[in-house]
Amino acid sequence: MKAFRVPSFAVVMLLCIAPPYGSILAGEAEARARPRVIATTDGEIDDRCSMVRFLLYANEWDIEGIIYSSSKFHWKEHKWAGEKWIERDINLYATFYDTLKQHAPGFPTPQQLRDVTFVGNIDNVGEMEKETPGSNHIVKVLLDSKPGPVYLQAWGGTNTIARALKTIQEKHPDQMKRVSEKAIIYIILDQDETFKQYILPNWPDLEVLGSFSQFGCVAYRWNDKIPAQLHRFFKGSWMKENILEGHGPLCARYEAHTKNRKGFGEGDFRSEGDSPSFMHQIDVGLRSLEHPTYGGWGGRFTKDKRGKRVWRGTKDDGDLNKPVYRWAEAFQNDWAARADWCVKSYEDANHPPVAALAHALDLKAKVGDTVNLSAKGSKDPDGDKLTFKWWQYREPGSYKGTVDIRNAGKPEASFVVPNDVANGETAHIICEVTDNGDPTLTRYQRVIVEFSKR
């Protein structure tokens, strides 16, 4: 696992904490680095639904490419959506770009998006024999000198990504080590054979995150995979109010269910099985890019036996879907706020709070110590009232016992290190900061506490 850390949303402020609670980032705001991303898509209906959300979050990343690709479900001569739908969506994005950019910095211009949209390997399922404009663009990005990892999102098959890697292997073999340290592939389902047959055996040092099944809780059968109490954020009434109606032409283009059938109603959320591939890279303070096992909006991962740097979706509380749906209320409300940004002024819309810790993100403590936690410096750009919730995210931590958090609903909380911890064990403590705007929005801080016996 490469040691690359994308800083959290926090503005970390000074708090006088005595040792052994770790170093203090003495009032220094952390620079926020935007992940570099390339999305490859086969144009399936859920890809087209995911693209709506993707464009509304376009300021969260440096979008280096949007590339037509294929899959075992869709290729140029089979259930093919054509090579114009991405440009259509960018044109719709252009109609509200001036309104959207009032709400947050960093939104690319429509022309910037057009300039990085290419056709990749689309002629057949798994076709990677020929170089294409899309594959060559991936090569160009992977060989450039810009810092930071490049996340290669496979919404369809991995064949265009595989073709790019093969070009590097054939023409720039001396760059394979550097590219292996730079590229991170996020695969949805694994929709052709090129990952297994080419990438795995030829690129063993390249990191791969595989949402081979976990994505399903936001895909076509989401209603069978998430708890009933969350269904309201996916039903037609919520979708019409918050996305489909009155939020501009791109949101209106979203392909929700159009009639009652197979357990779904008119206007219900259809499928966004590919959205976890980029939700993973939205910086909401969960530090999910620091390590695959941490978890965040795009899921949580464990080692896959097929490769030394391959990861697959894992379970929370014995449920493979929970690492995604546990955040569903927050990420659906966040999407609704983004839809508002398309049509409302800054003053009339809601914006996420800033969750700010008053101490370091990583702490150390020994048995019997009281660990004091503080998010008292958190604030809201709209002046909304904030609520707080501290909780132990048990699965990412190596300590599997219970940390009893006192005042868990207040800005300042604490816990006493349990007697049964072992040296080097960790606990992950999540602070949720939620505003009372409409819709309510949540940001997080993850505090990782390393324990010792003495």
Contact 125, 75 (CB under 8 A): yes
Q: What is the 3-state secondary structure (H, E, C) of 214-260?
A: HHHHHCCCHHHHCCHHHHHHCCHHHHHHHHHCCCCHHHHHCCCCCCC
Query: Is 44 inside any structural domain?
Result: yes
Instruction: Verify that 336 and 368 share a domain, yes or no.
Output: no
> What's the pLDDT score for residue 85?
98
Q: Whole-angstrom Cα distance, residue 244 to residue 47?
A: 17
Question: What does pTM read for this prediction?
Answer: 0.93
Instruction: Verify that 149 and 107 share a domain, yes or no.
Output: yes
> What's the pLDDT score for residue 154?
98
Query: Is 81 inside any structural domain?
Result: yes
Instruction: Verify that 371 and 329 share a domain, yes or no.
Output: no
Query: Is 247 inside any structural domain?
Result: no
Instruction: Verify that 214 and 128 share a domain, yes or no.
Output: yes
Instruction: Verify that 277 and 142 share a domain, yes or no.
Output: yes
Domains identified in the chain, total number? 2
CA angle 441–442–444, rounded 5-degree value: 160
Query: Is 40 inside any structural domain?
Result: yes
CATH number of the domain that residue 115 is part of:
3.90.245.10
Beta bridge partners of 433: 388, 443
Instruction: Verify that 167 and 138 share a domain, yes or no.
Output: yes
CA angle 146–282–183, rounded 5-degree value: 35
Residues 6+ apart with CB under 8 A from 123: 70, 75, 76, 77
Instruction: Give me the tens of pLDDT residue by residue for the chain, a chain 454 residues long.
Output: 333 333 333 333 323 332 222 222 322 333 458 999 999 999 999 999 999 999 999 999 999 999 999 999 999 999 999 999 999 999 999 999 999 999 999 999 999 999 999 999 999 999 999 999 999 999 999 999 998 899 999 999 999 999 999 999 999 999 999 999 999 999 999 999 999 999 999 999 999 999 999 999 999 999 999 999 999 999 999 999 999 999 999 999 999 999 888 889 999 999 999 999 999 999 999 999 999 999 999 999 999 999 999 999 999 999 999 999 999 999 999 999 999 999 999 999 999 999 999 999 999 999 999 999 999 999 999 999 999 999 999 999 999 999 999 999 999 999 999 999 999 999 999 999 999 999 999 999 999 999 999 8
Instruction: Verify that 40 and 79 share a domain, yes or no.
Output: yes
Give the residue numbers spanning the domain of 149: 36-219+268-341
Query: Is 175 inside any structural domain?
Result: yes
What is the residue whose two structure tokens read 């990504």?
Answer: 161
Residues 6+ apart with CB under 8 A from 68: 40, 41, 42, 43, 83, 86, 118, 119, 120, 122, 134
> Domain boundary residue among 281, 310, 341?
341
Query: Is 16 inside any structural domain?
Result: no
> Domain boundary residue among 341, 372, 401?
341
Instruction: Verify that 327 and 441 share a domain, yes or no.
Output: no
Query: Is 51 inside any structural domain?
Result: yes
Instruction: Verify that 290 and 397 share a domain, yes or no.
Output: no
CA angle 369–372–377, rounded 5-degree value: 165
Q: Whole-angstrom Cα distance, residue 92 to residue 79?
A: 24
